Amino acid sequence: MKQITLAASLALQIVAALAHGLGDHAAHNDALLLPVEIRAPTPKHFENIVSNDTFDLGCRPIAHPTDDGQYTLHALLSRDQIAYLESTESSEIVVRENTHLSKRQSSGAPIGTGDRFSSGSSAPLGLGTKPSGSTIASILNYNEISTAVTGLVNAYPGAFFRYNLPYTTFQGATQFAAYTGAGSNVNNYRLYLSAGVHARERGGPDNLIYWVSDLLQANKTGSGLTYGKKTYTNAQVKSILSAGIVLFPLVNPDGVKYDQSSGSRWRKNRNTKSGSSGASIGVDINRNFDFLWNFKKYFSSSTSPASTSPSSEAFYGTAPASEPETKNHVSIYDKFPKIRWFLDIHSAAGTILYSWGDDVNQSTNPSMNFLNATYDGKRGVTSDTTYKEYIPAADLTAIKKVADATVASMKAVGGRSYVSQQAVGLYATSGATDDYAFSRYWAKPGANKVYGYTMEFGYSTNFYPTLTEFNQNILDTNAGFMDWALTAISVGLD
C-alpha cells in the first residue's frame, strides 16, 4: 500500500504543477501523456498499477495476452510516471513507450469543419449503402452530430423521431435522443444504443449515426447492406428496424466539444463543482450510474473499481446519478419501458463486454448478489472465492450468445481481432452503464430485464484513430451492430 500512496502522491503533484504553471488546456496537452505498454509475466503483476487510480489506463484496464506467454497493459502516462514505475516496480515489469501508436495518433482523422448536413437539410449516409472502398473524410464535429440527426428526421418523416431529454448539462447543453423503426408507440422499442460517454473516444457517435442512416436508406430502397466481407439482406434490415431502435448518440456533449477543440484526450464531462482546474474538472459518467456506486462500502478495500478523487479519470461524482448526462441516460428506460437489449459504444480495446463487471459470474448461489448487504466490503477480488456475482444460467447463455455473434461479425469484416468476455475481466468496475442496465430488473420494482453490453472498438488506448482506422471502425462496428441486433432478436425481445 505504501507504493500506491507514493505513486498517487507523485501523480497528483505532476497534475497540480502542470495545472498551476500551464493552465487548464496545457495540463492535458497530448504531448504530456504518452501511450505506453506495460509488460509482465502475469496479470497479477499489474495489481499495484491498476489499484493506483491516478494512472490513466484507458477506458478500463485490460491485460492482453501476447504470443510469447506474457501480458501487456496499455496506459497513458507522463514521463515522470513512467520513470516512477521503472524505479519502483520489479524487474519483471517493463514499461515502454508505444511509439507506433504515438505516430498514428499524431496524424489522427480530422474533425469536420462547418456543417456537412446544412442544419439538417441533408441526411448522413453510411458506408453500408455505398460502393465498396468508399470512405468518409472526417469525424463528425460536435454540432454535426446534432444536425445529422435532424437531417434523418427531415429525410424520413414519420419514420425517424428526435426528442429533447429532460436535463441540461453543466455547461447548459440540451441533450437529445432519437428512435426509429417501430412507429410512434414507445412500447414497441426493444433496442437501445448509446455513444460518446467518454469524450476522447472519437468516432463512437459517428458509428451509431451512420449505421442507423444505412438501415433507413436500405429500408427505403429495398436493398441490403455490405460492411467489408459481411453482407446483410433487406429482410434482415427490416427485422432490425421492426424491433425498434432507440439511440442516444452524444452522451457527453460538453466533454466532446472540449476534446475536439483542445486535442487533449479528455475523458470526463466538464462539471467543475468538485474541481475547477486541470484534471480535477469533470466526472466519469461511466462510473456515475447507480450500480454499487459507493464502492468504498460495497467492494473489497484492495480493489479500485472507480475513484473518489476528482483528479482521477475514473472519478465517480458526488452521488449516484449526480450528473445530468447520467440522469438523461436513465430517463430513456422510463420513456421506453420495454427495452430489452442495451449496447454502449466505447473505444479502445477490441472487446465486447457483458455483465457483470463487479465480480466473476456464478449461477449456483442466488443469495450472493449485489443487493445482499452480507457481502458488502467483499466484492471485486476476481481471484478469490469469497464473492462471485449471481447471474441466472439462462441469462448468461443468452448474453454470451449475442456477444459471441457480435465479435464473430466484427472479425469477419476485415480480419481485425476482437474478443468477447465478461466485463469484470481481471479488474472490477462500478457504476457503469452496462451493469446498471442489467441491474434494474432486480433493483427497481417493475423494471424490464435489460441485457447490457459495452462495445470497445479499435485498439487499446488508440482514442484518436487515423482516417483509415476511423473508416475501418465504422465498418467493424456497423457489422457488429447488425449481428448484435439480429442475434438479440433471435434470442427474444420480450
Catalytic annotation on 456? Answer: yes
Q: How would you class 258 by CB atoms within 10 Å of its CB: exposed for 0-12, middle for 13-18, buried for 19 or more?
A: buried
Question: Which residue is catalytic, options 89, 201, 456, 469?
Answer: 456
Quickly tell me which residue has 451512420 as its cell: 210
Residue 174 pairs in a beta bridge with 168
Tell me: cis bond preceding 356? Omega within 30 of 0 counts: yes
List for the chain the helix, strand, coil content (%; round to 5).
Answer: 40, 15, 45
Tell me: cis bond preceding 393? Omega within 30 of 0 counts: no
CA-based nearest residue to 108, from 470, 412, 472 = 470
CA-based nearest residue to 12, from 394, 279, 293 = 279
Residue type, 216: L
Residue 353 pairs in a beta bridge with 421, 454
Give CA–CA dist 205/199, Å, rounded: 10
CA-based nearest residue to 57, from 89, 91, 17, 95 = 95
Give CA–CA dist 121/303, Å, rounded: 51
Which residues fall within 8 angstroms of residue 318, CB to CB, at 6 or more apart? 273, 274, 283
Residue 361 pairs in a beta bridge with 389
Cα 462 off chain centre by: 13
φ, ψ of residue 466 in degrees (nearest 5): -65, 170
Cell numbers placing 64? 492482453
CA-based end-to-end distance of the chain: 48
* Count of Cβ atoms closer than 10 Å to residue 185 Cβ: 9
CA-based nearest residue to 138, from 470, 428, 482 = 470
Are 332 and 192 contacting, i.e. CB atoms less than 8 angstroms apart?
Answer: yes
Cα 139 off chain centre by: 17
The residues annotated as belonging to the active site are 456
